[in-house]
């Protein structure tokens, strides 16, 4: 039985891409939210990288640790127990397979819906684990990072000189906002896997941009996150379990008419330590029309993107592979 189990693991392993280790990036923009120039630092980071780190965020470490501990307790359970949280929709527990278009990675996850217009059961209700404690930890955390994301979005508007300070944050605060929350667990790559892949890194989550407006990421102190710079170079981000990392998403790139850059990123597995990450994805209501803000476009022909609803973009985006450029069909062609 052990031989069959190992062979099955190897067969699954070879479906997952690998890559060579990359250089550590020591120039990650760091923004102290209490700094008087925070709005300027955020805008500069969004334009250059589409990515930055937030410190002095006022979210208690106890709240963060509570959720991480609950997540670890879940992911350390037997596979049969975890699969009780699997649902017949995008939400719930999943392992290795990311979406329905053939993408795979060295990852298992829990995906939670926060949109009241989408009827989906809470996967935690299917578990024997203390569901009330876990659910409470998820709810407390998502509320805190939702407020943080809105604070950051308002600083972005300030930095861009937009008169309506809540032009971005109102979409997240809307009771019908399409926000989701994801817990990812990247198991350590053990000896069997390490030998099979010849010392290269397994890709835990393949390269992609986030389609929503903003992503708020927190992980434990295990490395693995990488971003792609403007010149196409991939660099590794030093982990920091006390801070949050912010990704600009496709929707925000559109609303800023390309001024902000939606960052391409991926996650590699670590050979010795597991990685746990928690990501809050702030999305607009499904019926919200997205287009470059008039105040950021000098004249109509300077608009780079067509108008579309978040629901239309989401539907189109999730039909594509992770690495595809999802915005291409929504770009205006020359003279359009």
Q: What is the pLDDT of residues 22-39, one digit of tens each?
A: 789 999 999 999 999 999
Query: 3 versus 200: which is more confidently predicted?
Result: 200
Least confident of 90-104, 222-236, 285-299: 90-104
Evaluate whether 14 touches 96 at the Cβ level (below 8 Å): no
Least confident of 91-95, 249-253, 310-314: 91-95
User: In the prediction, which pLDDT does 201 show?
Assistant: 73
User: In the prediction, which pLDDT does 264 show?
Assistant: 97
Task: Give the chain's end-to-end CA distance (angstroms, integer).
Answer: 62
* 325 Cα distance to chain centroid: 16
Residue 297 has pLDDT above 80, yes or no: yes
Evaluate whether 107 touches 266 at the Cβ level (below 8 Å): no
* Token pair for 179: 């926000």
Residue 170: φ, ψ to 5°: -60, -30
% helix / strand / coil in the chain, to the nearest 5? Answer: 35, 25, 40
Least confident of 119-128, 161-170, 285-294: 119-128
Residue 219 has pLDDT above 80, yes or no: yes
Q: How far is CA 21 from CA 7, 27, 198, 310, in A?
A: 26, 18, 12, 36
User: In the prediction, which pLDDT does 269 show?
Assistant: 87
| Average pLDDT of the residues in 288-308 | 90
Evaluate whether 282 touches 213 at the Cβ level (below 8 Å): yes
Instruction: Please write the tens of the pLDDT for every residue from 228-272.
Output: 999 999 999 999 999 999 999 999 999 999 999 999 999 998 878
H-run or E-run covering 44: helix 38-48
User: In the prediction, which pLDDT does 233 show?
Assistant: 93
Residue 234: φ, ψ to 5°: -90, 135
Residue 142: φ, ψ to 5°: -65, -35
The DSSP bridge partners found for residue 279 are 182, 217
The DSSP bridge partners found for residue 55 are 32
**pLDDT band, very low/low/confident/very high, at 100 (cuts 50, 70, 90):** confident
- For the annotated catalytic residues, the residue numbers are 275
Angle at 292 between CA 287 and CA 329, to 5 degrees: 70
Q: What is the pTM of this model?
A: 0.91
Averaged pLDDT of the chain: 88
Nearest to 59 by CA among 243, 279, 281, 238: 243
Instruction: Please write the tens of the pLDDT for every residue from 133-161.
Output: 888 899 899 999 999 999 999 999 999 99
Which of 72-81, 282-291, 327-336 is most confident? 282-291
Q: Strand 234-236 relative to strand 225-228: parallel, antiparallel, unpaired?
A: antiparallel
User: In the prediction, which pLDDT does 87 show?
Assistant: 79
Residue 196 has pLDDT above 70, yes or no: no
User: In the prediction, which pLDDT does 199 show?
Assistant: 57
């Amino acid at each position: 039985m052990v031989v069959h189990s190992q062979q099955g693991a190897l067969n699954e392993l070879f479906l997952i891409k690998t890559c060579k280790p990359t250089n550590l990036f020591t120039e990650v923009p760091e923004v102290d939210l209490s700094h008087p120039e925070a709005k300027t630092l955020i805008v500069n980071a969004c334009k250059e990288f589409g990515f930055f780190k937030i410190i002095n965020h006022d979210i208690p470490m106890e709240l963060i640790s509570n959720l991480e501990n609950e997540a670890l307790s879940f992911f350390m359970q037997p596979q049969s127990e975890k699969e009780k949280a699997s649902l017949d929709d995008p939400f719930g527990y999943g392992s290795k397979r990311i979406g329905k278009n053939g993408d795979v990675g060295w990852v298992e996850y829990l995906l939670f819906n926060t949109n009241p217009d989408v009827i989906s059961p809470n996967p935690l209700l299917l578990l024997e684990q203390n569901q009330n404690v876990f659910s409470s930890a998820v709810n407390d955390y998502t509320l805190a990072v939702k407020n943080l994301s809105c604070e950051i979005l308002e600083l972005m508007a300030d930095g861009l000189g937009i008169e309506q300070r809540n032009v971005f944050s109102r979409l997240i605060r809307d009771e019908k906002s399409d926000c989701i929350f994801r817990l990812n667990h990247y198991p350590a790559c053990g000896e069997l896997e390490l030998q099979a892949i010849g010392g290269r890194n397994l890709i835990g989550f393949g390269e992609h941009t986030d389609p929503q407006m903003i992503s708020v990421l927190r992980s434990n102190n295990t490395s693995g996150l990488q971003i792609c710079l403007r010149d196409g170079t991939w660099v590794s981000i030093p982990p920091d379990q006390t801070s949050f990392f912010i990704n600009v998403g496709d929707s925000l790139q559109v609303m800023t008419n390309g001024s902000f850059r939606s960052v391409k990123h991926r996650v590699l597995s670590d050979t010795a330590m597991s990685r746990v990450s928690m990501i809050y994805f702030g999305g607009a209501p499904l019926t919200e029309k997205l287009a470059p803000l008039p105040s950021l476009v000098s004249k109509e022909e300077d608009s780079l993107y067509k108008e579309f609803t978040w629901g239309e973009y989401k539907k189109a985006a999730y039909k594509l592979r992770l690495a595809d450029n999802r915005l291409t069909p929504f770009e205006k062609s020359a003279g359009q």
